[in-house]
Chains A and B, each alone.
Chain A
Amino acid sequence: MSSDSDISNIIKRFEIKETGSIHPINQLKYEIFDLLNSLGFSIIDGPEIESEKYNFDLLNIKESHPARQMHDTFYVEDKGYVLRTHTSPVQVRAMLREKPPFAYISGGKVYRKDDDATHLPMFHQIEGILIDKEISFSNLKYIIYKIISSLFGEETQIRFRPSYFPFTEPSAEVDILSKDKKWLEILGCGVINPIVLKNCNIDPKSFSGLAFGLGVERIAMLKYGVKDIRDFYKSNLDFLKQFK
């Protein structure tokens, strides 16, 4: 026979308050921050409204580059500024401010003039840079393997492909093999272009660096199986509460 205290315990079960949740994109951002922080990267932050100098010029993105067109980049206040198109300007500010060696990560909102089922005008990026003596492409591979196996498991098959970014040379895109045996692009990376080092007053003869950038929504979609990127920003409690 149940005693009064038993009943009270049974009832108490139904008094438990429902906990809330941190947005899945921020959860994933923090998870990646924790990993990179454990590898020695420090977290830095910067403004979302940037000058063209930091967002493009110092990163070797020439004025004629398609990314600088009005149909790709949001300009504000009569072309005086842009909504940052990547988190790289945060790294540029760090390179101008600090003396190497250093290793930084930055993450946050970035903006591009896109809007469909796979692209949004606002999304989140995490970027990392490491500048030291004799940093090489093979070091970059080491760090990328660390990130991907932490996010998707040790067994994940990874493919590096040559790519092109004005701020890295050599540049690579990295794919992972999905469960249904399709290669899915996961991040971009490369050896920092010596032009960018020079632009940031770092002597490329003495130092080299690596850089990588991840789209947080893309990784979240793959990791959680979310099919429509727009679901992250509908503020739908049925969606968000699944990430408690």
Chain B
Amino acid sequence: MKIHFNHLKNFLPEEINIETVSDYLFQLGHEHEIDNDTFDIEFTPNRGDCLSLMGLSRDLNSLCESAFPYSVYEEEILNLNFNFENNDSDTLDKITFLYVEINQNKIKEYENYLQSFFSDFDIKKNNFFTDISNYLAYETGLPTHCYDYEKIYGKLSFESSSVNSEFETLLDTKIQLTGTNSYFKIDNDIVNLAGVMGGKATSCSKNTHKVLIECAHFNPEAIIGKTIKYGLNSEAAYKFERGVDRYAQEFNLRRFIKIISDHTDIIDLKIFSKDYKESTKTILPYNPENISKIIGYEFDNDDIMKKLVSIGFKFGEGEIISPSFRSDIFSENDIAEEILRIIGYDNIPKKEFSININKASKDLIERKFKSYLASYGFTEVINFPFSSFSRNESIKIDNPIDSNKPFMRNSLIDSLIQNTIYNENRNKDSIKLYEISDVYKKNPDLVSERFLTIAVSGRLGNNLKDFNKKLDKEFLIEIFKKLRIDVSKYISEIDRSKYDSKLKNKLYVMEMPFHVINQSIDFIDSVEIVKSKDHEYKEISEFPIVYRDLSFKIMYEKDIDQFCEKIMNSETKNLCEIFMFDYFKDKDNVSKLAFRFIFQSNEKTLTDKEVDFEIKEIIEANIVKDLIEIPGLDKLNLDEL
């Protein structure tokens, strides 16, 4: 909710500045950002009482003295003889109607307090009564709804029922009401969607001079979800959902009258009020010792009591009475939170303690197994469980985020194949992935099982030993042989034609229940856990890699070490990886070393010319003529680059 500091300032001590108020708001739990002297506050859902200038300043009163700066209409108001029928007093438990007739021709320019609401927030004015209603909700937090009295053509009543009819809102939008709704109607016509938005049929206009102003208290549960259901944006609903003060209706309407009278002459004024529920107060035991135990800190009780009074609480003999606007206070723990907010959470010292409880042994098998797989170059992936495939036992999501994926996967294989193809498309030529995750089935009850799934494709590894070997079924069998587990029955080769994959590499997957690993618990238990390190993350590029292979002929063995050192430390703008993939010594003892240089830019797809230029830089930095030759170098035409 947006609250302008200039408006709030009227309720606070004159000398206070925005930074101090900001600090106080954080202390009280009202997280916010400040933009152009406006607090954009994210109130917690239990603090509906703070959704106004009056409410927020009231909450600040424990930290800085605040006061309501405006006056209200204080004269006696005659009763309105009004035939209103409430058919659902569980939802509408208190209502007040105010009838006002004004001299419509004498409306003055808006007073500063009213004008600044529209100008500081850049809100479009509507008509006199609606403007006051909108402002008043901001000032006091109680929404009101204005009916053009001359448009009330029959008996006004309230009810909740299942409906299926079109409703035109006062914002000219037509919505189709479905399911159970709470609404006001005139005879059989719905004229106001309760607590959400009024209807076009009875809305006020610039010509309205007789108005019926409704100030009601609805059960929040009847309002929740309605704005989302009907795609409406309603400040009133936001407030009703969080709870408004059911006992402040008359005060609110008296303030409404005062604002009217600040701007025009009032010709007639009448009020109708009905409370359908016995009035109750929240009274809780007040024992400072108990509360100190919850907080873990002994506070100055006299000071705290004074401050609790300043924010509306009252005290009786050993008890505390919560103000009517605090619908979130139910227990001693709630009072403890109030006291904590007054003291400041950050001012409570931390208290050391020890947990003298027998620790259960940690289940480290999965973690150790992951470390084992990491030693073979496997990378763990985690996928979302949503799937487009339905198998017999698939669980269906009622409200999927993607309608194309309405099922919970009961195999991890499809996810792993997609992960492999994704990385192949990024020119990765040695892919070893795995995922360990629960999958869910309906059998007939919901059952879960933890699966291990592996996918491999491409070279065994990008190193001198493995470069020319392929990842295959035997590789997987070999890894698990050490664990004395025969996994051959779990491995299958994937038919790529079913997937969007043009590569011809063989792609193998393996899926088995994770509990199979327990067969090898002794071996796994001896595996050392890979501890996490401090990682320095570098943003990844979305552009493809480009590689160049170069073979170097080294005349004298004594030069190999230094050459390798230099070549591995090569640096160019887009060089990101180097590895040796071939070594050969001929009959004359001349060594041939082949390196792969991998380039990738964060900004674009590299052209051949750009890569060749960087290759030239590497060669020029490393080659010592007469000692090192690069077969085929002449074909590269480096001089032209």
Contacts and interface: CB of A to CB of B under 8 A. Distances in A.
A161 B448 contact: no
Contacts of A160: 345-346, 348
B353 A139 contact: yes
A1 B562 CA distance: 12
A26 to B, nearest CB: 7
Contacts, number: 289
B359 A40 contact: yes
Interface in A67-117: 69-71, 74-79, 81, 83, 101-103, 109, 113, 115
B399 A15 contact: no
Contacts of A43: 360, 362-363
Contacts of B378: 20
A235 B348 contact: no
B307 to A, nearest CB: 15
Contacts of A237: 379, 423, 426, 428, 431
Nearest to B565: A10
A79 B398 contact: yes
Nearest to A168: B333
A18 B293 contact: no
A16 B375 CA distance: 11
Contacts of A7: 557, 560, 591
A31 to B, nearest CB: 5
Given A18-B462, A235-B422, A242-B538, A139 B333 contact: no
Contacts of A54: none
B480 to A, nearest CB: 16
Interface string A178-216: 000000000000010111000000000000100000000
B374 A19 contact: yes
Interface string A108-143: 010001010000111000000010101111110110
A194 B333 contact: yes
Interface stretch (B26-34, B62-70, B73-81, B195-203): B26-34
A172 interface: yes
B240 to A, nearest CB: 12
A53 interface: no
A145 B376 CA distance: 38
Given A20-B378, A24-B535, A48-B438, A76 B560 contact: no
B373 to A, nearest CB: 6
Interface stretch (B105-113, B209-217, B463-471, B614-622): B463-471
A120 B617 CA distance: 44
Contacts of B295: 136-138, 170
B580 interface: yes
Interface in B374-401: 374-386, 395-401
Contacts of B440: 48-49
Range for the number of chain B residues in contact with chain A: 35 or more
Interface in B519-549: 530, 532, 535-541
Interface residues of A, number: 103
A136 B382 contact: no
Contacts of A242: 535, 537-538, 540
Given A208-B294, A231-B540, A236-B423, A20 B396 contact: no
A77 B442 contact: yes
Given A75-B398, A113-B399, A137-B340, A172 B345 contact: yes
A77 B537 contact: no
B261 interface: no
A77 B396 contact: yes
Interface in B415-467: 418-419, 422-423, 426, 428, 431-433, 438, 440, 442, 446, 448, 461-466
Contacts of B386: 121
Interface in B351-383: 351-357, 359-360, 362-363, 367, 370-371, 373-383
A133 B464 CA distance: 62
Contacts of B47: 164
Best-buried of B346, B419, B535 by chain A (most CB within 10 Å): B535
Given A42-B360, A162-B29, A136 B540 contact: no
Interface in B54-104: none
Q: Which of B398, B422, B428, B431 has the most CB of A within 10 A?
A: B398
A78 B398 contact: yes
A224 to B, nearest CB: 4
Q: Which of A1, A17, A145, A238 has the most CB of B within 10 A?
A: A238
Interface string A12-32: 011111111111111110110
A22 B334 contact: no
A117 B362 CA distance: 35
Given A37-B362, A141-B351, A171-B337, A164 B45 contact: yes
A23 B535 CA distance: 12
B350 interface: yes
Contacts of A33: 362
Interface stretch (B221-229, B263-271, B279-287, B486-494): B221-229
A234 B396 contact: no
Contacts of B356: 40, 101
Contacts of B376: 17, 20
A163 interface: yes
Interface string A28-62: 10110100010111111001110000000000000
A169 B377 contact: no
A64 B350 contact: no
Given A49-B448, A162-B345, A224-B537, A22 B530 contact: yes
Interface of A: 1-2, 6-7, 10-11, 13-28, 30-31, 33, 37, 39-44, 47-49, 63-64, 66, 69-71, 74-79, 81, 83, 101-103, 109, 113, 115, 120-122, 130, 132, 134-139, 141-142, 145, 159-164, 169-173, 191, 193-195, 208, 224-227, 231-244
25 contacts: A1-B557, A10-B560, A17-B465, A17-B466, A26-B370, A26-B382, A31-B532, A42-B357, A42-B360, A44-B360, A63-B221, A74-B397, A74-B401, A130-B355, A136-B294, A137-B296, A138-B295, A160-B346, A162-B29, A169-B336, A172-B345, A224-B535, A237-B431, A240-B381, A243-B532
6 closest pairs, A vs B, by CB?
Answer: A136-B296, A162-B29, A40-B355, A138-B296, A164-B44, A170-B337
Given A20-B375, A236-B422, 15 more contacts: A1-B557, A14-B580, A17-B463, A20-B377, A71-B228, A74-B398, A101-B356, A137-B348, A142-B352, A159-B26, A159-B346, A164-B29, A164-B46, A235-B383, A235-B433
